[in-house]
Each structure stands twice: as C-alpha cells, then as structure tokens.
Amino acid sequence: MRALICGAGIAGLTLAWHLERDGWDVKIVERAPRFRHGGYMIDFYGPGMEVAKQMGIRPRLLATQYPIDEVDYVNGEGRRTSGVTFTGVLGDGLNVMREDLAQALHDEVRSPIVYSTSIESIRRHADSVAVRLTDGTREEVDLLVGADGAHSRVRELTFGPEEHFVRYLGRQTAAYTLKDEELHREIGMRFRSLTVPGLMVAAYSQRDDGLAVLFLRQEPDPRLPDDIVAELTRHYGHLGWILPKVLSLRPPASEIYYDQVNQVEMDEWSKGRVVLIGDACQAVSLFAGYGASLAMAGAWVLADELRGAGRHVPGALTRYHARMAGPVAEIQRFGRQSLEWVAPGTRGRIVARDMFMRLMNLPGANRLMVAPLATAGKGLIKPHSAPLIDQTGRA
Ligand SMILES: Cc1cc2nc3c(=O)[nH]c(=O)nc-3n(C[C@H](O)[C@H](O)[C@H](O)COP(=O)(O)OP(=O)(O)OC[C@H]3O[C@@H](n4cnc5c(N)ncnc54)[C@H](O)[C@@H]3O)c2cc1C
C-alpha cells in the first residue's frame, strides 16, 4: 500500500513513522526547501507524550527539554508584577522547543522527504488517488494525507477554500530565536512576559546563549502584513523592557514564524482516500497549548485505524475522525476560553489576570489551570502490548 503525505511537520512525520513500520510505502512532500527549524516552546504532555513514549523518543526529548516551571509577568521596566509556579503541573510532560520535537521525529523517519515540493492537483478514484506534484511528477497512491498545517493545500483542493473552515481568533503571532549572552542571563530559566492591552511578548532562555521570543497581538483584520519585520517594529518597538534589543537582533524575515492565531473546524476530515491530520483539520491554536500533542495523537489514531483495515481505507478514515472529534472540540473550547487570559485586551483584564495568578500560587491551585486539558484526550492512545515492529524486524 502506498501513501503520500503532504507536509513534514509534527503530524506528517509521526504518521510516516507509524505507516512505515506497518509496511506502507511512504513518500513525504514538503513545501519548504529544507527541514524547518524555528517556532516556540511547547508544553508537551497528554496523548502526544504517550505517542512519543511508544516511538521511543522520550529520552531524546528529556535531553533537549527546558526545565521552565515559573512564569513571571513584568512591566515595561522589567519589574515583576505577578507570576505563577508550575512545578509538577505537567506530570510526566515537559517543555520542549517545537524544532527539537520535529527534529527528533524527523531523525526516526526513513521514508523519502522531497523538499520544495507541494501538490498541484488531486483526482480521487474509488481505489486510489492520482496526484500531480508541483515538480511535474505524478503519483498514484492508496492514501493521500494532508498534514500541511492550518493553511492546508490538500484541504483546499479536496474540501474548498480556507474561509469555510478557519476560525480567526482575532490575534496574530510571531516567534523567533536569537543569540545574546546578556539577554540570556537576564531572562534565565523562566518564562517572562510583558503584557499591555492587546499586545503580549514572552521570552525564555535557551541553550548556548539563545533566547526564544513569542509575540502576540490583537488584530481584527486577519490579513497578514507584507513586511513582517516592519510590523513587529511598529507594534512592539516602543514597549521598553528588552524589546529594542530583541528587535534589533532578530533573524531575517524568512526565519521568523508569523501567522494568524486560528482554529480549524470541519465536519468531516476525509473524502474517499484523501484524509487530513494535525492543524489542517483540528488546529486548536496556541491558546490551548496542545497543538503538537494533539497532532501526534491524531496521526497515531489514524495509523491505528488503518492497521487491519486492509483495502477498506475509507472506513478507517471515518472511524479515525469519530475517535478524534470529541477531544478536539473540547480542547478548542478551552483555547477560546483562554484567549483573554493569555493576551488580555484591556487594562482591567490585565489587573484581573495578575490577581488570578497570585491565587494560583496557593498550594495545588496551579493544577486548576491545566485541569481541562489533563483529562482531554485521555484514553485516545491505547498501550501497545508489544513494541512496534516493522516488516524488516526492527523495533
Ligand atoms: C517552523 C514552524 C514554526 C511554528 N511555530 C509556531 C509558533 O511559534 N506558535 C504556534 O502556535 N504554532 C507554531 N507552529 C505550528 C505548530 O507547530 C503546529 O500547530 C502543530 O505542531 C501541529 O502540527 P502540524 O504537523 O499539523 O502542522 P505544522 O507543524 O505547521 O506542519 C505543517 C508542515 O506542512 C508544510 N506545508 C505547509 N503547506 C504546504 C504545502 N502546500 N505543501 C507541502 N507542505 C506544506 C509546512 O512547511 C510544515 O512543515 C509552527 C509550525 C512550523 C512549521
């Protein structure tokens, strides 16, 4: 059986890993010219961690994790106004950079990844899918998977335009990393965040004098700016704190992650033998902080349903959606409720957030913050009675 996966992100790589070991012949196409670095820090726990354990990559994640268990809110002078400690809240979860998780997955995948390539057109047949790639080649496969993120091309070609499925949450986000010894020392191993009405900036230190920065801005217009560097400078340049230096040391625009904050909601995730996974069909947004975990869970559940389905692929795709839909809706609801806490729109809300954070420091209270997520997706990932073995006998 042949599968073509569009998108070498968290979901696509996880699915490739599982299908390879189940004997599928897998090919991945990725629009970017090379493996994509960059992104932000992930709270990685829940079903994604269960999948990571089964794949054997948890030790590698432990080696690259950042032990961040404190969030400090600061003002324009860098003075702390409130904060919360998270020690133990993630259970066996951890904080890891998105790129370290993606790299750990990438290094375990054996299937070819064809970079600078996407999907030009799709023709669905009863027993196969005919695909024309942007490099001019054609593929005839048993399964086509759209793992190409919130702005999925496979979704557009199969289900229609983005605006039917994407719910814009009124925010735009950016993230990048830089190197600076002084900033690294000043921020330390804490998540430090500055919030003014409608704007949020967070910074946290990384290995080797690195600093990761995350920006979040309220913006009613979903259109992305043409010049993201000018946009960042215009909105954040006057905020004080470490911003002037952080902006002057930014990488080139091509290395800055910049996107709308979106959720993707769809009633069906497959048509015939074309299926979507990850953000393409279930984006929960950074407010839920669960996107990567859920992307890995979705890939796992899809592989689980395909196992044993033989040629009855469409039925397996329908069952995969039925298993995922409930947890995804629950986490999306949580994400929308968190909006005003993560990036308050008014001064009053910022004051309320600071008061709430002080309460969260009472013994055990901080667990309440992740309580809705602690149960969501529980039971999605069944334990394997034996290690996953591929056809070549390798675990
Ligand atoms: C470099 C990078 C940085 C990120 N940083 C953040 C961040 O700071 N904050 C945040 O909330 N989320 C961020 N995300 C999104 C986050 O990683 C996802 O929400 C989550 O991991 C779900 O994974 P996914 O595999 O569905 O999507 P993604 O991890 O987004 O992967 C999708 C992959 O598909 C590829 N792709 C897209 N379109 C096409 C196409 N037409 N043809 C072929 N390939 C295509 C992309 O290049 C990407 O490699 C980032 C994603 C990337 C790729």
* Pocket of ligand 1 from Cβ distances under 6 Å: 6-12, 29-32, 36, 38-40, 98, 118, 147-149, 153, 173, 175, 257, 278-279, 286, 291-292, 295
For residue 313, what are the CA distances in angstroms to 269, 303, 306, 321, 325?
13, 11, 7, 13, 19
CA distances to 16, 77, 106 from 9, in Å? 11, 38, 9
| Strand duo 274-276 + 270-271: pairing | antiparallel
pLDDT of residue 82: 82
Residue 38 φ/ψ region, left for φ over 0, alpha for ψ in the -120 to 50 degree band, beta for the rest: left
Q: Which residues pair with 43 in a beta bridge?
A: 95
Q: How does pLDDT run across 74-94, given as a tens digit for each residue?
A: 988 888 888 777 666 666 788
Q: Give distance in angstroms: CA of 293 to centre of ligand 1.
A: 13
Distance of CA 173 from the midpoint of ligand 1 (Å): 13
Residues 6+ apart with CB under 8 A from 356: 341
Residue 187's pLDDT is 92
- What is the number of the ligand 1 atom nearest to the C-alpha of 151? 38
**Over the stretch 44-74, which tens digit does the pLDDT of each residue have?**
988 999 999 999 999 999 999 987 778 888 9
Domains of the chain are: 2-166+262-375 (3.50.50.60)
Pocket test for ligand 1, best of 4, 5, 6, 10 (most atoms within 8 A of CB): 10
**What atom in ligand 1 is closest to the CA of residue 118?**
42
Q: In the prediction, which pLDDT does 387 show?
A: 45
Q: How far is the CA of 355 from the centre of ligand 1 (A)?
A: 35
Each residue's pLDDT tens digit, 195-221? 999 999 999 988 889 999 999 999 999
Q: What is the dihedral of CA 387, 56, 308, 377, to 10 degrees?
A: 120
- φ/ψ region of 45 (left if φ > 0, alpha if ψ in -120 to 50, else beta) reads beta
Neighbours of 369 (CB within 10 A): 17
pTM (whole model) above 0.85? yes
The protein residue with its alpha carbon nearest to ligand 1, atom 20, reads 292
User: Residue 59 C-alpha to ligand 1 middle, in angstroms?
Assistant: 24
User: Which of 100, 279, 281, 285 gets mutated to test ligand 1 (max ligand atoms within 8 A of its CB)?
Assistant: 279
* Per-residue pLDDT, 70: 80
Alpha-carbon torsion (116, 121, 124, 128), positive or negative = negative
Question: What pLDDT shows up at residue 67?
Answer: 79
Give 24 Cα–ligand 1 centroid separation in angstroms. 24
pLDDT at 386: 46
Which ligand 1 atom sits closest to the C-alpha of 7?
A: 34
Structure tokens at 11: 């979901």
Both tokens of 46, joined, read: 């829940």
State how far the Cα of 220 lies from the Cα of 25, in Å rounded to an integer: 44
CA of 278 to the centre of ligand 1 (A): 9
39 Cα nearest atom in ligand 1: 5
Distance CA 286, CA 263 (A): 9
pLDDT computed for residue 134 by the predictor: 98
Ligand 1 centre distance from Cα of residue 279 (Å): 8
Ligand 1 centroid–CA 259 distance in Å is 10
User: How far apart are the C-alpha atoms of 276 and 101, rounded to whole Å?
Assistant: 21
Give the pLDDT confidence score for residue 100 in this predicted structure.
95
pLDDT tens-place values along the chain, 395 residues long: 999 999 999 999 999 999 999 999 999 999 999 998 777 888 898 899 999 999 999 999 999 998 777 888 898 888 888 877 766 666 678 889 999 999 999 999 999 999 999 999 999 999 999 999 999 999 999 999 999 999 999 999 999 999 999 999 999 999 999 999 999 999 988 889 999 999 999 999 888 899 999 999 999 999 999 999 999 999 999 999 999 999 999 999 988 999 999 999 999 999 999 999 999 999 999 888 789 999 999 999 999 999 988 889 999 999 999 999 999 999 999 889 888 777 787 888 777 777 766 666 655 555 555 555 666 777 888 876 444 544 444 44
Q: Whose CA is nearest to atom 6 of ligand 1?
A: 39
